[in-house]
């Protein structure tokens, strides 16, 4: 079985240049539906879900592999390998920006350049010099919140009380809902995203990179954007006058315009 | 008369998709100690704990954009004194005449306690289940996988080798003259032999090599993607590593029987173990401390 079947790969449009879009923590490839119309007419756009997210297979999920961003980078590289991609443009959001960085270091030939939407190399504060925005207590609160909401959504206490693995019925019920996943998977991803500190990898990056920074973003402040820009060689920083962490959903026209200008300047 | 919205025992909030608060009822003053008039024009982030901001940005906002609603979501508001207040909310997006988000909020302090207990109960059960699973899979004397676990792993390897077109080697190992260790030096010495041989076997096994104690002085190995030469090399590693193993001033040796299921082979685990056992008995008959390989023409020595 091609590994891509595991990652629910969707291919839209066609064109000489392939763009891979990698969703962030929380949701799935549906996040890109506001942005894809700007590229589909003249590009091949590849979407996928990380293992355990959206409609990707959960059977291959294991906590150990996906407890660091390396596991997710392997998903991205598997998708690239199955489609035999070379010199693709990677458009990534949130934690995927760092997953893309890891994947790009492991197999540089897959990518031509990267456009990172709301990147942060480290969400946790690392005193005294680095202010990622969050403390460990915030992470614990978020993980608890994910449990609480899962229980609320699922409206199905059996597996929670008994601790049995989630049956396929329950998984099917949840998969119909955008942004909802098995709590173990979602929490593992959240923990991997929050515990990651990839600041040391930034100087090793090899691809031209566009950093799309939101003017006000609780997850990636402007100071974090400037930090990333200062440490990532061959990067350019574009600040979008917006609030929030989902520029590709809230400001797709502006994001598309900036990515297209970047692509034109970096043929 | 006090406006009815201010009489409601829950929060009513209206925000823009750009996260600006347009309206907040008196709940935010009475229950959260916030200045509800100063809230108008503020950003929704000012009402949320840092974790809830992440939750808003990664779940609620995308859901509002994608589906226009969030049902029964729980998160934490932050009170005027800075303490988190758990709430449950339903959110609806209305697009005309202007895009606004309507929030209906209820306090969830007790519900939150119940969830915390549920989550803790789940974690307890999970960790208990994991411990039971480990116990059920482990041989208590040697700490190695037991027979049940060996069969599970070996069957998995056989299936996987089927799909990938790989061969599998199965080895049965028996400690030579084990009974005399027990008889001459007591059961504690016998246990010591089993423990130390188990440790030796685990130390020589590498990735893709499953080793287990089946029971008594009998051990088994399943080598993934190994042919006859690979299995013979493994057996040699076992014999060689035993040179250093001395218990009660007696050296410990083993006899080994090997069978190979080539790529495309159809024998199941039971049949393979039986053949490896035949080879093992041949090794015993050949004088022990050696390895025999089972082939279709009968047991042949392994060098």
As given in the structure block, the two tokens for residue A113 are 């350049």
Between A267 and B99, residue with greater pLDDT: B99
pLDDT (0 to 100) of residue A25: 80
Tell me if chain B has a CB within 8 Å of the CB of A191.
no
- According to the model, what pLDDT value does residue A12 have? 95
> Is the separation of the CB atoms in B258 and B167 below 8 Å?
no
What was the pLDDT predicted at A4? 54
Compute CA B17 distance to the chain's CA centroid, rounded to the nearest angstrom.
Answer: 41
B88 touches chain A (CB under 8 A): yes
pLDDT at A181 (0 to 100): 60
- Chain B stretch 238-277, residues whose beta carbon is closer than 8 A to a beta carbon of chain A: none
Supply A141's token pair: 């609160």
CA atoms of A125 and A65, how far apart (whole Å): 25
In Å, how far are A31, A97, A245, A255, B35 from A92, measured between CA atoms?
11, 5, 12, 12, 40
Closest CA to A24 of A114, A118, A107, A88: A118
The closest CB to that of B57, out of A34, A144, A245, belongs to A245
Tell me if A136 sits within 8 A of A234, measured CB to CB: no
pLDDT higher than 50, residue A172: no
Of A142, A216, A249, the CB nearest to B55: A142
The string of DSSP letters for chain B reads ---HHHHSSSEEEEEETT-BEEEE-THHHHTT---HHHHTTSBGGGGB-HHHHHHIIIIIHHHHHHHSEEEEEEEEEE-TTS-EEEEEEEEEEE-SSS-EEEEEEEE-HHHHHHHHHHHHHHHHHHHHHHHHHHHHHB-TTT-SB-HHHHHHHHHHHHHHHHHHT--EEEEEEEETTHHHHHHHH-HHHHHHHHHHHHHHHHHH--TTEEEEEEETTEEEEEEET--HHHHHHHHHHHHHHGGG-EETTEE--EEEEEEEE-TT----HHHHHHHHHHHHHHHHHTTSSSEEEEETTEEEE--
**ipTM value for the complex:** 0.77
Is residue B106 within 8 Å of B88, Cβ to Cβ? yes
Q: For domain B4-112, is the CATH number 3.30.450.20?
A: yes
Smallest Cβ–Cβ distance between B121 and the set A161, A216, A244 belongs to A161
Q: Judge whether B146 and B212 are in contact, CB under 8 Å.
A: yes
CA distance B276 to chain A (A): 33
| Residues A29, B62: Cα–Cα separation, whole Å | 12
Distance of CA A28 to the CA centre of its chain: 9
Q: Which residue of B has its CA nearest to A25?
A: B58
Please enumerate in sequence order all residues whose Cβ is within 8 A of that of B145, keeping only pairs 6 or more positions apart, or say none.
Answer: B137, B138, B139, B153, B210, B211, B212, B213
How many angstroms separate the CA atoms of B53 and A123, rounded? 13
| Position A153 pLDDT exceeds 50 | no
Q: Which residue of A has its CA nearest to B52?
A: A142
Work out the pLDDT band at A88, boundaries 50, 70, 90.
very high
Give A215-261 pLDDT, tens digit per residue.
989 889 999 999 999 999 999 999 999 988 989 988 999 999 999 99
Extents of the domains making up chain B: 4-112, 138-301
Span A38-50, pLDDT tens digits: 999 999 999 999 9
Interface of B with A in 134-193 (CB under 8 A): none
Length of chain B: 303
Instruction: Going residue by residue through chain B, which has 303 residues, state the pLDDT in tens, using 9 for 90 and above.
Output: 788 899 999 999 999 988 999 999 999 999 999 987 789 999 998 999 999 998 898 888 888 888 888 888 899 999 999 999 999 999 999 998 899 999 999 999 888 788 778 778 878 888 898 889 889 999 999 999 999 999 999 999 999 899 889 999 999 999 999 999 889 999 999 999 999 999 999 999 988 899 999 999 999 999 999 999 999 999 999 999 999 899 888 999 999 999 999 999 999 999 999 999 999 999 999 999 999 999 777 788 876
Find the residue in B nearest to A139 (Cα).
Answer: B51
Domains and CATH numbers, chain A: 3-121+201-265 (3.40.50.1820)
Does A145 sit within 8 Å of B75, measured CB to CB?
yes
User: For residues A145 and A139, what is the distance between their CA atoms, to the nearest angstrom?
Assistant: 10
Fold of B138-301: Alpha-Beta Plaits (3.30.70)
pLDDT of res. A155: 37
């Amino acid at each position: 079985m091609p590994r891509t079947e595991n990652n629910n790969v969707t291919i839209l449009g066609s064109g000489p240049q392939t763009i891979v879009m990698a969703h962030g923590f929380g949701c799935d490839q549906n996040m890109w539906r506001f942005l894809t119309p700007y590229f589909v007419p003249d590009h091949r756009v590849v979407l996928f879900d990380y293992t355990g997210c959206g409609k990707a297979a959960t059977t291959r999920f294991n906590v150990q592999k996906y407890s660091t961003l390396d596991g997710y980078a392997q998903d991205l590289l598997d998708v690239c390998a199955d489609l035999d991609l070379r010199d693709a443009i990677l458009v990534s959001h949130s934690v995927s920006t760092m997953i893309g960085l890891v994947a790009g270091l492991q197999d540089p030939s897959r990518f031509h350049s990267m456009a990172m939407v709301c990147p942060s190399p480290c969400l946790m504060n690392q005193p005294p010099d680095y202010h990622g925005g969050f403390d460990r207590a915030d992470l614990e609160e978020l993980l608890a919140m994910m449990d609480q909401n899962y229980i609320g959504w699922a409206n199905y206490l059996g597996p929670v009380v008994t601790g049995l693995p989630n049956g396929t019925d329950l998984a099917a019920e949840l998969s119909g809902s955008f942004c909802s996943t098995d709590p173990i998977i979602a929490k593992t991803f959240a923990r991997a995203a929050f515990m990651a500190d990839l600041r040391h990898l930034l100087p090793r990056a090899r691809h031209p990179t566009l950093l799309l920074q939101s003017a006000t973003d609780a997850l990636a402040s402007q100071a974090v954007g400037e930090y990333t820009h200062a440490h990532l060689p061959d990067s350019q920083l574009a600040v979008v006058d917006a609030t929030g962490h989902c520029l590709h959903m809230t400001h797709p026209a502006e994001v598309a315009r900036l990515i297209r200008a970047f692509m034109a300047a970096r043929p | 008369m006090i406006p009815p919205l201010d009489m409601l025992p829950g929060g009513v909030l209206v925000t823009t998709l750009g996260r600006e608060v347009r309206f907040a009822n008196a709940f935010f003053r009475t229950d959260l100690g916030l200045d509800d008039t100063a809230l108008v024009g503020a950003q929704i982030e000012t009402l949320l704990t840092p974790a809830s901001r992440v939750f808003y940005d990664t779940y609620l906002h995308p859901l509002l954009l994608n589906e226009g609603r969030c049902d029964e979501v729980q998160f934490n508001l932050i009170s005027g004194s800075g303490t988190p207040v758990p709430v449950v909310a339903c959110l609806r997006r209305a697009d005309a005449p202007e895009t606004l988000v309507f929030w209906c909020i209820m306090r969830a302090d007790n519900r939150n306690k119940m969830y915390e207990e549920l989550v803790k109960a789940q974690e307890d059960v999970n960790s208990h289940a994991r411990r039971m699973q480990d116990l059920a899979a482990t041989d208590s004397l040697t700490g190695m996988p037991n027979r049940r676990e060996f069969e599970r792993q070996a069957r998995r390897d056989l299936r996987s080798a089927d799909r990938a077109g790989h061969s599998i080697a199965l080895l049965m190992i028996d400690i030579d003259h084990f009974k005399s260790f027990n008889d001459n030096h007591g059961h504690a010495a016998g246990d010591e032999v089993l423990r130390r041989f188990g440790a030796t076997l685990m130390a020589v096994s590498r990735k893709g090599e499953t080793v287990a104690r089946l029971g008594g002085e009998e051990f088994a190995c399943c080598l993934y993607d190994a042919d006859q030469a690979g299995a013979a090399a493994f057996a040699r590693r076992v014999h060689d590593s035993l040179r250093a193993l001395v218990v009660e001033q007696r050296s410990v040796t083993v006899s080994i029987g090997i069978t190979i299921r080539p790529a495309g082979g159809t024998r199941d685990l039971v049949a393979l173990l039986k053949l490896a056992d035949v080879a093992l008995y041949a090794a015993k008959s050949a004088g022990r401390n050696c390895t025999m390989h089972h082939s279709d023409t009968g047991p042949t020595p392994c060098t």
